[in-house]
């Protein structure tokens, strides 16, 4: 039967969807108010939708229903999921766990990955990748990457190091640079001739 006027039919409520309120997904049209997860009813947008045949889900419910099953799946990287999916009508079968020894097979790799991280020379605390700045061949916190004398925040263009400490170029020149007449500081008494 031809569609005499109006717009396409909504994939959720089957009513007419006019252009001003239309959201398209997977070749189907939806009202903005009907564009929600079919399992948890959460509102969706183009970044959170996952389509399966004629159904739309949020990414979490889609993963629970159609993704890999078992412990550790369905909640994103690095998370342990204890959701069995029973509220979605899924059957969960737990596989037997393999026996693990109490000690790690290679403690140096374990320590490098999970244990001790590099320490900041200024404060002595661990320096993680998100806050790491290299200076003088050592890792520093962004907040600790300052001149040891004046406290000025440093950058790669104005940093100098001496004996494991960081200095701005001005403080380094004043304290460790050449001295004498013509170098910014008089250290010799010049006798006046009468």
User: pLDDT tens-digit profile of 45-78?
Assistant: 888 888 887 788 898 888 888 777 655 554 544 4
Domain count, the chain: 2
53 located within any domain: yes
User: Do you know the residue count of the chain?
Assistant: 194
- CATH number for position 148: 2.10.110.10
161 located within any domain: yes
132 has pLDDT over 80: yes
Torsion of CA 123, 126, 131, 133, to 10 degrees: 70
Domain membership of residue 151 as a residue range: 130-174
> Which residues have C-beta within 8 Å of that of residue 136, sequence separation ≥ 6?
159, 161, 164, 166
9 located within any domain: no
147 located within any domain: yes
99 located within any domain: no
58 located within any domain: yes
104 has pLDDT over 60: no
47 located within any domain: yes
Mean pLDDT is lowest, of 10-24, 30-44, 177-191, for 177-191
pTM of the model: 0.36
Residue whose structure tokens are 């959460």: 42
């Amino acid at each position: 039967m031809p569609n005499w006027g109006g717009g396409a039919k909504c994939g959720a409520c089957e009513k007419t969807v006019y252009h001003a309120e239309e959201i398209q997904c997977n070749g189907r049209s939806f009202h903005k108010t009907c564009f929600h997860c079919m399992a948890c009813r959460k509102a969706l947008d183009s970044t959170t939708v996952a389509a399966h045949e004629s159904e739309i889900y949020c990414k979490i419910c889609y993963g629970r229903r159609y993704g890999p099953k078992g412990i550790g799946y369905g909640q994103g990287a690095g998370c342990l999921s204890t959701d069995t999916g029973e509220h979605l009508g899924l059957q969960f079968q737990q596989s037997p766990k393999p026996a693990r020894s109490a000690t790690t097979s290679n403690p140096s790799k374990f320590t490098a990955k999970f244990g001790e991280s590099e320490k900041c020379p200024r404060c002595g605390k661990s320096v993680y990748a998100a806050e790491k700045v290299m200076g003088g061949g050592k890792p520093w916190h962004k907040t600790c990457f300052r001149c040891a004398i004046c406290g000025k925040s440093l950058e790669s263009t104005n940093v100098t190091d001496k004996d494991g400490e960081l200095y701005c170029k001005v403080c380094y020149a004043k304290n460790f640079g050449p001295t004498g007449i013509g170098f910014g500081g008089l250290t010799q008494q010049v006798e006046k001739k009468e």
